[in-house]
Structures are given as C-alpha cells and as structure tokens.
Structure 1
Amino acid sequence: MTSREDRKMILEAVAEAHKGGARLVKISEIIGVDCKTLRRWSAAEALNHGDKRPSAERPAPASRLTEAERQEILAVANRPEYAALPPTRIVPMLADDGVYIASESSFYRVLREAGQLKHRGRSKAPVQQRPPTTHVAYGPNELWAWDMTFLSRCLSR
C-alpha cells in the first residue's frame, strides 16, 4: 500500500511530467500505477482523508464505550455475586433486575482488555499435557509389546 505522503509525491511528479508533454498512459506504465488509480488518488477527498483502506485514519465510533462505562463494567463483574460468572450469565442476571450496562460482547471485550476473562465460572485452567512417551526401536528385538487383542481372545475362550 502506498501512504498518503508517497501518493502526493507521486502525483506531483506525474503532474510535472504531464505538463512537460508526457502522456498519462505512458507515465502510468512507467511507474506501474494504473491511470484510474492516479485519478482516484488525485481526488481532493482521497488526498485529504485517505481512501478507505485498512491503514486509513478513521475517527473513533460514536458508540464507543467511555472510560467511566468500562470502569462500571469492571466494577459489576468484580462484585462478589458475579466474580465467578462469565458475561453470558452476568448480563441476563442484570437484565432480570432491570439493569442494562452493556452487551455480553462488550463485557467480554472489557474483561479481556483488563486481563480478567481467564477462568471465570466453572472453567478450569488448561492443563499442560506432556507429550506421549514413545518407545523407539532402532533394530530387531529391541522393543517388545503385548497385543491386547490376543489377550482378549485368550480370555474369552
């Protein structure tokens, strides 16, 4: 992706070459940028505000939680009656009391950002499984194992 500053620099060089008599098609072939892209870049809005790409600067959404709302979510989630519950249980319990603070996804997001989402409720910490022990034979008669199917056939007779 080309940054806005680089686009401005490219457009200035293209405008200078175009004033010198070069055709826009030939200029775009030389620099490796399509003519339509150059026209889109030269639009006033694209130069001032970006062109809606992932790296474009965007204003914060109006519905974004304020810091006070985030602190309220953390305070409610850390109350003794809710401390061991996941947000999927907290939000409905609050709704039964007629209280709405935020959605479940907002609770999850705020708790995750605060590092408090791990092991809420009945979930237990993940147990690190050790790798299975394997026996490797590098030659004949180094490794012997009992065949359970043979044992079960012998016992069933």
Structure 2
Amino acid sequence: MGAYADLTAQGTPTRQASVLTGISRATASRRQQRPVPPAPREVVPANRLSRTERAKVLAVLTSDEFVDATPLQIFAELLDRGIYLCSVSTMYRVLRENTLVKERRRQARHPARTVPELVATAPGQVYTWDITKLPGPIRGVYYDAYVMIDIYSRYLVGVHVHARESGPLAEEMMREVFAIHGIPEVVHADRGTSMTSKSVATLLADLEVTRSHSRPKVSNDNPYSEAWFKTLKYAPVFPDRFGSLSDARAFMDEFRDHYNHEHHHSGLGLHTPAEVHYGLAAAKAADRAHVLNTARAAHPERFSTPDAVPKILALPDAAWINNPANRDDPQTYQPAA
C-alpha cells in the first residue's frame, strides 16, 4: 500500500499505479478514506511502585536473611514486624523481572533420544520385530504373537505364538530365524521388556548384530511391525477370539504363509514378499512388462505413455526407518513425546 501511495503522490495515474503494485483502485481508495487510529499511549498504573521502591523490595528479597525464603513467607514475616513493602504478587513480579524465579525442586532431566535411521537395500540386512496380543477364549486371556519382519522384502521371517511374553522366548525365536534366514546386520525393536531383555541383548552381542531401538512413545520408529499388525487384525479372516493356544498358532502359521506368498504388497510394486525376498521380483517384473507391452500394442489409445510402467509396479531401491530426507516433514519424522 505504501508503494501505491508513493506512485500516486509523484503523479502516476491511479490506473497505472494499480497495475504496477497489484492493488485495485477501489481497495486503495477505501484504505485512504479510512481514518488512521491514534497511536496507543502507555498508561502507567497508579499503584505501580517507583524504581527506587522496586530496588528496595529486591534488596530485601535477596538479603542474607530472606534469600532462601519464599515471597509468601517473607510477606508474613514483614507484616509481623509491622512492615509492608508490597503484595506477594509484586514480590514475584520483581523477582521475575530480575530472572530470580525458577523451579527449586529437582526435575527429571530426560536426555534427547537418538532418532533411529536404518536403511536396507537388499533382503537380510535389517530385521524388525515386535509382540502383539491375540484375544484368547475368554475376556482377559491373551496370547502373545512374536513377529519378525525383513523390512526390505516385508517377508515374515519369524512368527511364534506363546502364552506369555519373555526374553528367553524371544531369544528362541531369533535363534530359529537366524538359523534359517541368516544373521542380519541390524535388529530393530521398540523398548519393551522382551526387546531390552538381557537374553536378547546377549544373543545379538555374541552374533555381532547391531541393536536398534525406537524412541519412547514414538510408534513411527517401528513402522513395519505396526503396519503389519494392522494388516493382520483388520483382515476379514481375523477372528474375534481364539479358542486355544493351538488355534492361535495354526491361524498365524496359515496367515503368515498367505501373506508371504500370495499377498501383493503395494509397497513392493505389487510383488509378494517371497518374490522380493528370494530374488524373483526382476523376472516377475519382466513378465508383467511383456503383458503390458502386448496390451499397449493392441490398444495404444488406452495408454497415455508409449512404454512407461505404472508407478505402482515399481520396486523401491531401499526401505527406510526414518529416512533423513524426511526430517523436515513432521508427519513422517515425528519427534519424541
């Protein structure tokens, strides 16, 4: 608005000034006719202490006699002596102006947690695992499903169901998984009791596997496990309750096989986890490209590009937990609570 006023004051026609500044003439005219509000003036409260009085209050509050006392105690003590300096709130106000008010109690100091940043460019590099509850036959009875996932291929390398949660049972699952699928470079988990147990920590240390843990109260640090649990429990075949521990184990075994070998994963170019895990995705992608090229040759008018493969069929080069490229995105890079 200032530029418009300067142009018109120098004799520039209003129409040209409007074009140059992007301000319509109607808006400029309306603002010029609007009365300018008077500058606000500072009103000094009539009951405000003078500078000398405030200095006197500060000297009393910080004296050797009262330096460790609260303003409330000082106020009462001075009244008993027949002295009134100011109100308790004014004492606090004077202390606050001089940065002398702070929490005296010992406060818990939580150190900043390191954000886990993991990347896998091939199967067998990074495994993530977690435990979820499966409802038992009656209310209050639950079974614990231990699930370990390869984050690159999304392949379920281990699924065990037990009646309780414990570190030795988690160690047993890991030994079986590592014997079948090999020892990974990193194992990631949250900070549950089983995940941080001595038995699991000792096993991974002996095998020289790097341990990685989520930050407290940040579920986004373990996205692959959390997402798979939702896939499991939102599946139409997931029952309201399991009749027994053996029923839960049989269901999880069947669901694991279906997910690994039949589920076309949207994050894997619609390949199954088994195809990616065992290196069959490239051949499958070539077969799909041949089918698409045949269809494109038969009906080119139905395809907007001559030879491009749909993005949904592209297999990502890497799988991340907290990709550093997303640090500026608060939705994908959630800070610790």
What's the offset of the Cα at 1:61?
A: 2.3
Query: Equivalent residues in 2 for 1:52-131 (5 A)?
Result: 56-119=40-103, 123-130=104-111
CA distance in 2, matches of 1:103, 1:86: 13
What's the offset of the Cα at 1:28?
A: 7.9
Deviations 1:85-132 (A, max 9, x none): 12122112211222110111110111111122225xxx2353422257
Secondary structure of 2:65's counterpart equals: coil
Q: Are 2:163 and 1:145 equivalent residues in the alignment? A: no
CA distance in 2, matches of 1:125, 1:115: 18
Q: Hey, which bits of structure 1, 4+ residues long, moved more than 3 A?
A: 27-33, 131-135, 141-144
Q: 1:89 to 1:32 in 2, by over 3 A?
A: farther
Per the alignment, residue 155 of structure 1 pairs with: none
Secondary structure of 2:107's counterpart equals: coil
Per the alignment, residue 204 of structure 2 pairs with: none
CA distance in 1, matches of 2:27, 2:58: 57
CA distance in 2, matches of 1:131, 1:125: 18
Q: 1:100 to 1:32 in 2, by over 3 A?
A: same
Q: Give the aligned residue type for 2:194.
A: A
| Structure with greater helix share of residues | 1
Note the aligned Cα RMSD (angstroms).
3.9
Length-normalised TM-score, structure 2: 0.26
CA distance in 1, matches of 2:62, 2:49: 18
Gapped regions of structure 1 (runs ≥ 5): 1-5, 14-26, 147-157
Q: Which has the larger radius of gyration?
A: 2
| Structure with greater strand share of residues | 2
CA distance in 2, matches of 1:82, 1:74: 11
Answer with 100-109 or 88-97: which moved more.
88-97
CA distance in 1, matches of 2:106, 2:53: 29
CA distance in 2, matches of 1:72, 1:90: 14
Q: Give the aligned residue type for 2:82.
A: G
